[in-house]
Amino acid sequence: MNPLIWIILSTFAMSLIAWIGLITLALNEKTLKKILLPLVAFSAGSLIGGAFLHLIPETIAKVGPQLNMFLWLLFGFCLFFLMEQFLQWHHCHKLPSEHKKPVTYLILLADAVHNFIGGLAIASSFLVSVPVGIITWLACAAHEIPQELGDFGILIHGGWEKRKALLFNFFSALTIVPGGLVAYYLSSKIDTTFLLPFAAGNFIYIAASDLIPEIKSGESLKKGLIHFSAFIAGILLILIVRLLFKVT
């Protein structure tokens, strides 16, 4: 199948995860609190696995361990740090009752930028090969689930009506599609391999700065072990899928 078809289908499928906010209408707050942080831990593991077991090795296989590769990785890391500093953007994975005066429109704007960059990462991976694209998609999807639950909660707590919150959250998620298309059309003019380490830098920043601190609560040994196990499960998911597809 043409890489463009893979890119369109995969990025649109990712945007549909924004509708996961519907789950909050069916589950009570106590149940959500039980599953949310393990999901965050799983997400962190998937992103770390995606960066170190997938994106970085793929870049080295294509261009070798060149300095430029590591510069793009650092740029991807620093760009998300900059976004967090100046857009007050953060990946939020707490429930609405734990927030005060959320900046809802800013969350939607920053999430739209984040999703556009995600589209660049997914598309650049599919341009390498379909298995590489699928692994990147899985890492992104594992992260999107707790993120979208948190974003939906912020909008509701900010006074948004539920249907409106779901719709606008979906609109901000749709920017992943043009991100994928931009990467695809850029590939005919320039070598887009640099987007792989750039995405790896994004993944490492999100996992290390936004996600892991949330699961280092130290509430109890039992919860700590659950979170660590979920983190390792996220890494193992990427490793197993990579081995199944025999990506070199």
pLDDT tens column, 146-185: 777 777 766 776 778 878 888 998 999 999 999 999 999 9
Is residue 19 within 8 A of residue 144, CB to CB? The reply is no
Structural domain includes residue 30: no
Domain presence at residue 29: no
Query: Structurally, how many domains does the chain consist of?
Result: 1
**Residue 25 domain flag:** no
Tell me the CA distances in angstroms from 141 to 42, 117, 170, 218, 223, one per residue in order.
11, 14, 15, 27, 24
- The answer to the question of residue 165 being in a domain is yes
Say how far apart CA 146 and CA 140 lie, in whole Å.
11
pLDDT tens for each residue of 76-93: 999 888 877 776 555 555
Asked if the structure places residue 105 within a domain, the reply is yes
A 10 A CB-CB count for 154 gives: 22
The answer to whether 175 and 115 are in contact (CB under 8 A) is yes
Mean pLDDT estimate for the chain? 82
What pLDDT is stored for residue 40 in this prediction? 83
In a domain, 37, yes or no: no
pLDDT tens, position by position, 126-138: 998 888 899 889 8
In a domain, 104, yes or no: yes
Domain range holding 176? 3-20+42-245
Six-digit token string for 9: 């289908």
In a domain, 134, yes or no: yes
Q: What is the 3-state secondary structure (H, E, C) of 144-162?
A: HHHHHHHHHHHHHHCCCCH
How many CA atoms lie within 13 Å of 223's alpha carbon, on the beta-carbon side? 14
